[in-house]
Amino acid sequence: MTFTRYAIYFAPPAAAEWTKFATSWLGWDMETGTLVAHPIVGEIDVAAVTNVPRKYGLHATLKPPFRLREGQTFDALHAACGSLASNQPNVTLDGLEIARLGRFLALLPMGDTQALNSLAATCVQTLDGFRAPPSEVELARRRAAGLTPEQDANLVQWGYPHVLDAFRFHITLSGKLDKPTLRATQVALQTHLAPLLPQPFQITDLALMGEAEDGRFHLIHRYALSG
């Protein structure tokens, strides 16, 4: 399969019950590269609620999607990811919780996130030599959303505004919703997903992802954190 962009994700363990539910909730299994049926959750239109994040799969971004820089190869990226992971320890947090981020819902980590933030920063910085610089069109599109000076500096240096000190780990569960839908969806997820969430929550590997030509992301390889 040909990929247009690559990214480094936290990809939840496929065998976990919370992963299975949340993957079907989104409707795209990035591990198998297949569409999956949504669960029936009360009166919630799950397909509509999850339409925007579906193509990305169940994940948290550690290094945002990037095109390979001219002169770089997938094989070199693959090797660099393995080397990076071999020098990083597992990360353990207290758990995950369902929360609102503006108008969308996400899973957020509970507890001290210092080690988690450090892992994400290492991914961004260590692998940046593989990233092609953003085009003027991409820069304009990002800036149209309104960026702080810090975010704009990140965009210029790292190709994405929400990295390093502006990073916030989250696993997206919905697109932007109106207030009644947001409220109803959060109640439904508290009922069906919250009891399955892990306590503690561990990150034991990094996932190299590829974006196919149709925009859907596929899991290419997992690298165990063994530092």
The DSSP element (H or E) to which 93 belongs, if any, is strand 91-93
> What percentage of the chain reaches a pLDDT higher than 90?
95
> What percentage of the chain reaches a pLDDT higher than 70?
100
The mean pLDDT value of the chain amounts to 96
Domain ranges of the chain: 3-224
pLDDT at 227 exceeding the cut of 90: no
Cis? peptide before 200, omega within 30° of 0: yes
Sign of CA dihedral 203, 96, 102, 189: positive
Residue from 218, 227, 186 nearest 56 by CA: 218
Burial class (CB within 10 angstroms; exposed 0-12, middle 13-18, buried 19+) of 44: buried
Q: pLDDT, tens digit, for every residue of 131-153?
A: 999 989 989 999 998 899 999 99
Give me the phi and psi of 155, to 5 degrees please: -60, -45
The length of the chain is: 227
pLDDT at 94 exceeding the cut of 90: yes
Query: Which pLDDT value is given to residue 145?
Result: 84
Q: pLDDT, tens digit, for every residue of 173-202?
A: 999 999 999 999 999 999 999 999 999 999
Q: pLDDT, tens digit, for every residue of 36-91?
A: 999 999 899 999 999 999 999 999 999 999 999 999 999 999 999 999 999 999 99
Under 8 Å between Cβ of 97 and 198: no
Give me the phi and psi of 220, to 5 degrees please: -95, -45
CATH 3.90.1140.10 fits 3-224, yes or no: yes
